[in-house]
Structures are given as C-alpha cells and as structure tokens.
Copies of this chain bind each other. A is one copy, B any other.
Amino acid sequence: MPLSIVRWTVISRKAHTWRLEFFALLLYNRRITMFSVMHRILTRTRLLNRGSSVPGLCKCKLTSSAEHTQISREVAKLLEIKASIGSDDLGHQKYTLKTPKGTRDYSPEQMALRMGALDKIIAVFKKHGAETIDTPVFELKEVLTGKYGEDSKLIYDLKDQGGEILSLRYDLTVPLARYLAMNKVSSIKRYHIAKVYRRDNPSITRGRYREFYQCDFDIAGTFDPMIPDAECVRVVVEILESLDIGQFVVKLNHRRLLDGIFEACGVSSGCFRTACSSIDKLDKSPWEEVRKEMIEEKGLSVEATDHIGEYVRLNGHSELIEKLLTDEKLSKSKAAQEGLDAIKLLLQYCDIFGLTDKISFDLSLARGLDYYTGVIFEAVLKCDGVVKNEESSVGSIAGGGRYDNLVGMFDSKNKQVPCVGVSIGVERIFSVIEAKLASKDMKVRTTEVEVFVASAQKNFLEHRMRICKDLWDADIKAEQSYKKNPKMLTQLQHCEDNGIPLAVVLGESEMQKGLVKLRDIATRQEIEVPLDQMVQAVKNKLKELNDHASLPNGQA
C-alpha cells in the first residue's frame, strides 16, 4: 500500500467526538474509508489534542515505519470489511423485515384506542379555547442546538444530501418557541399533538420508544401572574378525569422557591441547577441516595445538604405556605419569598377552579429541564387508584411549567414571550388504558360500521350493492363482503367479531315479496321490512339500540 503521511494539521476540539463520527461514516459509505483510516491512525497514536476544550490547532507527525505498518494493517482491515459488504446494489440485498429500532407500527386496535383517548384530550383543549398549529418534523439543526444540554446527543440528524443541515424535532416546545419568534407571535393558546424523535436506548418493556407522540398545551403571552398557570393545572385535571385512568395528584412547586431554599441553605448560586437535578430524582430514589449524590458527586456540604433535605421532604397545601412564609431561614431569601408568594397565589386560583383536592404543593418536585423559570408541575398516577398517605405513585403522566426565556433565544433582539405549558404523557396514558382493557379482557372496536349487508343465498351481489348505496346515501356506516357469494355464517361471524350491531339480510323468498330482513346481531332477532322502507327502518333500529345501551365505541 503506497500510503504515507509526513505531516498533518488538524483543527479539533474533542478528539473523542471525531472518532465516533468517522467510525460511523466508515460503516455507512464505502467510498470514504480512507478518512476513517487516517482518523483512526491519528487517534490511536494519540497525537491529537485529545480532550482539549479550546478549539485550536495542534500538530501531528506520522513518519515512523511502525506507523506505516499500522496504516497498512488498518487499510487491509477496512478493505476486508468492504469486501464482506459485497459489491451488489444495496437494493437487491436480503434484509430483515422490521421497523427501525425503537419504533413500531400501530395496529388498527392500537390506533382506535389512541384516537379515542386523543379525542377526549382535544375536547378539553378546545373547551379552553386552544387553537392548534403544526410545524415540520425536522428543523434546521441550529434551532435545536444548545436547547437540550447533554441530551443533544439523542437528536436524530438527517443525512447531508446537499443543502441545509437538518434534525428531527426532539420535542414540541422548541419548535413552538421558534414559531413564535419567527412569526412575531406575542400571544397564543395552542395545542400540538405530534410525534417526536429521540435516539435514546429504547426499552419496549418500559414503553420507551425512539418515535413517540407528544401532546402539548401552552399559553404564550404577557399576562398577570398565575392566571394562565392555574388554567394549565385545570386542563391537566380535566384531561386526567375525562380519561378515567385512576386516582392522581398534580404536584406543584416553583423554581424560584427551590433557588431560595438552596440559597438559604448556603449553596452557591453556580450549583443551583446541579442541585436541582439531584432533587429531581426524589420521585424515584429515597432521600438517602439523593443526599449521597449531592455530597459525594455534586460536592455540596453535609450541613447544606441536610438543611435542603428538611425542606424538600415537605408537601402539603396552603398551610405549608403559611408555615414557610414565616420560616426564619427562608425569610432571608428574596427568591424564596417570591416563590412562596407565587405558589400562594396559584393555590388560591386553583381553589377557585375547584382543584384543591387534586393538587399538592410538593417541595421535592424539581423537573429535569433547565429552561423552567417559574411554576413547575407534574401529575402522577397513584398506585392501584387508592389515595394513600404515603404517596406511592406509578409515574409521571403529565408535566410542565413556566419558561419565560426560551422564545427570546430565537429572537435577534432577544425579545421575550413568556410561556407556560404542559405536556400530557400520552404514551403512558395509552399504556395504562391498554393494560386496563387487557385486564378486563375487553376488545376495542376498530371501525364504526353500523350495518352489514349480507346475503343468505348466492347471486345477490348486485342487490347487496344497491342496498349499500342506499345506506351510504343516507349517511349510514355500512359494509358488505367483497366476495361474490360469501357464506352466511362467515358474514354473521364478521359482524360479531367486529361489533357491528345490525345486519340487513337478503334472501330469495323475501326479495320476491319485496322485503328484506333486519337482524339484531346481539339478540339474533330478525324483523322483515319492505325494501323501500329499509333505510328508515335501519335508522329507527339504530336509534333504538343507541338508546337502550350506548353503542360500543373505540374505548369500551
């Protein structure tokens, strides 16, 4: 291999990042293996300015014969991989028939259940006067850069096929902020239900996917304190009640109060966020573990940590506010006082909205995201639906808070649009509903067909088609077999399997008399009606069935 490098100059920030990127390029595109080779040589010989945090120049020199041998070995290895890939077109290769890792198809049953739940959620959004918008599934990569901290590594990038560098959206909040800034919208109340993408380690058993629905409700605009915030809490409560998925509680807290607690306990302001991220783990870990992390990993003092511990284990209602407002340590912190005043007002508004028994002022609530600036909230389902003294939650099913500075990040003049919003954890809600149905061995209807048009004997296809036409013309949901001469039993079985309540049955003898039979699938009762009164008879019968027991729908 006639290959050698005398000198090479690189501009690098993190050698480690390079390695990952170029290894990926190697696997993907056979034509650029040479860069991988070179790069691996550079990293292996440790000549790169590895881990340097300042972008700059570093020099490296590869000349020894040992390095030449190394190069040849690498090239040989790569050529071997290339050969094993084969030189045929990719299109003719065999591959496993599957959806991409961490994604799934939604079957008609799953979709019926999802659509049923989403309809209820949307009804609540509409009751509160929300509009809806939509944004592209991908954004310019820069729009997402610097918004998700460490999680940025989970962003899906699109291949550069010439043109702009794009990434799939990671949530619906950043696209909303971009939308508001770009279109100079200073006030909106909108919901947005769409899929988002995270290249996380999928866990099917825990219901964590790489493609999943988010369902957000946000109120943007400059308003008076806590009025839209309280409505967000009301929206969450209405949604969870309408879905009927068990007892829940909405925990409330305030970022300013948390800051104030840290301040009062002697934590330096530079450590507020990292302390916050430890507190955030209290819903999954006991205080002892969190305490250990704060002291050993975050470097907080034992004294400060134990003081914080006394606060963050508190929860209650307005009586707790009053107690904390007179707390000696907290009364010295402006941030704590502001947070407490804000929560006090929120609890007061929530009380007017009839939410007092659904909410809990909980000082352990911290929320992971950096961008929250005010109130934060999170709804959790209570275990087996029973209210317990000890909160034994089965997990967060909605969460949100106030973020007043995000939109400004997109505005060239840093013009702020204050926002508060909530994201409904619809994927978890879907799982809960699915589990509930499974436990009751209930079936979901996937269609809304009201009438099946069946024939008892052969050669009735065209008659069936005429009946279907009449039913469709009358806006009745109807179907028939696509077979010319289906078996009677098969047709009735189809009705039972699919929860179709009614069948119009055509038979030789009835047709001669100008009659058809109307069959109630559940009771198997049949009545004869004249062909020209069929539509009205079907309507009457459907109304009767509807009045007696409400028609099975997508959810029950």
Contacts and interface: CB of A to CB of B under 8 A. Distances in A.
Contacts of A473: 354
A478 B127 contact: yes
10 contacts: A1-B9, A2-B59, A5-B5, A13-B31, A18-B32, A29-B160, A30-B55, A91-B145, A156-B161, A231-B482
A134 interface: yes
Interface of A: 1-14, 17-18, 20-21, 23-25, 27-35, 55, 59, 75, 79, 82, 87, 89-95, 97-101, 103-108, 111-112, 115, 126-143, 145-147, 156-166, 168, 178-179, 181-183, 188-190, 195, 197, 199, 211, 219, 221, 223-224, 227-228, 230-231, 234, 238, 349, 352-354, 410, 412, 446-449, 461-462, 465-466, 468-469, 472-473, 475-479, 482-484
Contact of A133 (B2, B59, B91, B107): B107
B28 A165 contact: yes
A353 B89 CA distance: 45
B8 A3 contact: yes
Given A140-B95, A161-B157, A162-B24, A89 B146 contact: yes
A248 B119 CA distance: 33
B55 A34 contact: no
Nearest to A187: B482
Given A59-B2, A158-B159, A479 B128 contact: yes
Contact of A108 (B127, B133, B163, B181): B133
A20 B162 contact: yes
User: Which A-B residue pairs are the 10 nearest by beta carbons?
Assistant: A91-B146, A108-B131, A223-B482, A28-B160, A129-B479, A103-B136, A91-B145, A157-B159, A106-B134, A224-B484
Kindly name the residue among A24, A164, A449 whose own CB sees the greatest number of chain B CB atoms within 10 A.
Answer: A164
Contacts of A31: 11-14, 17-18, 55
Given A9-B2, A136-B104, A224 B483 contact: yes
A221 B482 contact: yes
Given A129-B448, A230-B465, 14 more contacts: A1-B9, A11-B31, A17-B31, A97-B143, A99-B135, A99-B136, A103-B136, A129-B449, A137-B195, A156-B159, A189-B479, A228-B482, A234-B469, A234-B472
Contacts of A161: 24, 156-157, 199
Contact of A447 (B100, B126, B166, B224): B126
Contacts of A126: 447-448, 477
A87 B55 CA distance: 8
A472 B238 contact: yes
A482 B219 contact: yes
Contacts of A178: 97
A106 B133 contact: yes
B35 A224 contact: no
A438 to B, nearest CB: 19
A355 to B, nearest CB: 9
Given A18-B31, A34-B8, A352 B129 contact: no
Nearest to A231: B482
A477 B238 CA distance: 13
Contacts of A221: 482
